Structure 1
């Protein structure tokens, strides 16, 4: 069975991007996408994967995007950057504080939380960093705007709440659609992401929990209390998203402070099953029709 899966994966690796995404969408979402007249959210995200806006490259790069955030909403929303060295050496490791987060700028999931450096080693982190740097993230899901991002390792301050837990990922899906002045916003909250029982919940902009499942995450037993900073989070996300028909803005909050995480233009690479399936169509209606023949901007 494992050999069969490996052979299938190798065969898929040789397919053109459009064919690869057609098959991936069919396998994961359950139907073949209509790329000529996309209607669902996933279909329109597939179009973005194949015909990305030229701006996506800089704003997807997790180091370069910091300049955009600084210009748009201010330095105070950035997680403090400890180091972004050209290479990760023992000298860099020795200079790091006792707690930090190691990340790579050119893809998703490249995150290593280090709560106590004395329990880690340079060699261990270097092996992980080298594996990340050797990953061509474009080849993972054929999101073409990742092709020209130069891989880098960087280190940020570890954010923790007073209780010691890492704050939840607050992912604000911002839909401006056809030039609307005010976006429609859905808020996905991933809590305890690095713990034993991660949870995923979806809310509307008024913090009403929705009957929606998020990927493989189980829902929380009870809705989270409405954040005191909700209106400010919505304002921050709107400011960062206003030039796009759709973008997901990831934020973190600790007390009154709001921190920027990342901008994501092709979440799930267009092959992300949504439950209920009607959300795929609803979110698709909120987006503009994507470009079919490259970027006109």
Structure 2
């Protein structure tokens, strides 16, 4: 993006860290609209790395990202996407993270695992129970609940699984740490109630440089039907901000009432998130037990918006920065998984 393309009022300079520009609001809005209409993976593949991430941020937040000195939560998440630390890959891997969960809070918080496969054939389903959940270890959204496998076509399930395995999720939204995860399909116990899957408690944990951690809970319900979202503080009060603006809140008392296991859920989330400036710990409560589904370092690929917008900066201030080196003990616990595909160098 040189001076021949951008108007004179855009002042910029390029560094190895990316682009920092002073752009007026009207031009940012205009440029964001142009990006939104033409931003595809085929276009991304033609861009230099710094331009790709600036345009990703611009499309989502209608401003340019300060990669040199990120202050907002959205900026720090995009910095992580662009410059991931190696342990992000290990802990975003839904297979390997089970070791970290076991060693940090106990194996009882892991969802029972039947199998994890790098290639899936129809015959392998014979070894699975009648009901299970199948999902990938290296992506979001690739999940299928099988409540009765006798009603399923095993060849189609195998084809679906292998299609998931061929997909490079890291390219979809620019989350580079997913590139270093060896793709597998997990088959877990199906946590099903009479109304379907239990609510998803997404606990956001912020660890500032000084002071206590700040936590809030995002409750997603009805994931495979009419989806709702409710936000609560750690003491189960309403929050002064909203996360996105598309999902309606639930009025179901089973969602609006604090779960009996809340204190333990918060303790588990704090312990798992302790080494990091920020992460999101996803949990379920099923038959009175807490299960950890995953740990996420770049929720929603940093695309979600906070309202009022000032909370992007407020939460960013609670996100310890720069990222701190992990202790040798923590690195040992994270690195115990034996199936980690050491592809960090592929990230460039």
**TM-score calculated relative to the size of structure 1:** 0.90
Which stretches in structure 2 are left out of the alignment for 5+ residues? Answer: 1-35, 327-348
Name which of 108, 133, 141 aligns with 1:109. 141
Shift of 1:8: 4.7
In structure 2, distance between residues paired with 1:215 and 1:117? 37
Partner SS for 2:86: coil
Q: Which has the higher contact order (CA 8 A, sep 6+)?
A: 1
Q: Taking structure 1 as reference, are residues 36 and 6 closer, same or farther at Cα in structure 2, changes over 3 Å only?
A: closer
Which one of 188, 196, 221 corresponds to residue 165 of structure 1?
196
Alpha-carbon contact 1:103-1:155 (below 8 Å) kept: yes
Change (3 A) 1:213 1:267: closer
2:198 counterpart of 1:198: no
Query: CA 1:238–1:7 in 2, change beyond 3 Å: closer, same or farther?
Result: closer
Task: Please state how far the C-alpha of 1:280 moved relative to its aligned partner.
Answer: 1.2
Are 1:268 and 2:297 matched, yes or no? no
Kept after mapping to 2: 8 A contact 1:47/1:290? no
RMSD of aligned Cα (Å): 2.0
- Cα shift at 1:112: 0.9
Q: Indicate how the Cα distance of structure 1 residues 235 and 8 shifts in structure 2: closer, same or farther if over 3 A, else same.
A: closer
Match of 2:18 in 1: none
The CA distance in 2 between the partners of 1:275 and 1:7, in whole Å, is 25
Aligned pairs (5 A) from 1:227-242? 227-242=259-274
- Residue 46 of structure 2 corresponds to which residue in structure 1? 14
Q: Give the conservation status (yes or no) of the 8 Å contact 1:200–1:214.
A: no
Q: CA deviation at 1:86?
A: 3.8
Structure 1 unmatched runs, 5+: none
1:183 corresponding residue in structure 2 = 213
Following the alignment from structure 2 to structure 1, what is the Cα–Cα distance between the partners of residues 215 and 312? 15
* Cα 1:184/1:91, change in 2 over 3 Å: same
Flag the 1:98–1:164 CA change in 2: closer, same or farther, 3 A: farther
2-side partners of 1:81 and 1:5: how far apart? 42
CA deviation string 1:211-233 (max 9, x = no partner): 51446322223661111111010
Paired position in structure 1 for 2:63: 31
Are 2:309 and 1:277 aligned? yes
The superposition leaves residues 246-292 of structure 1 with CA deviations (integer Å, 9 ceiling, x where unpaired) of 1100000124210010000111222322233222112111112235x
Aligned pair in 2 of structure 1 residues 259, 97: CA closer, same or farther (>3 Å)?
same
Q: How many residues align?
A: 288
CA distance in 2, matches of 1:24, 1:194: 28
Tell me: CA distance 1:72–1:14, structure 2 relative to 1, closer, same or farther (3 Å).
same
Aligned residue in 2 for 1:118: 150
Aligned to 2:94: 62
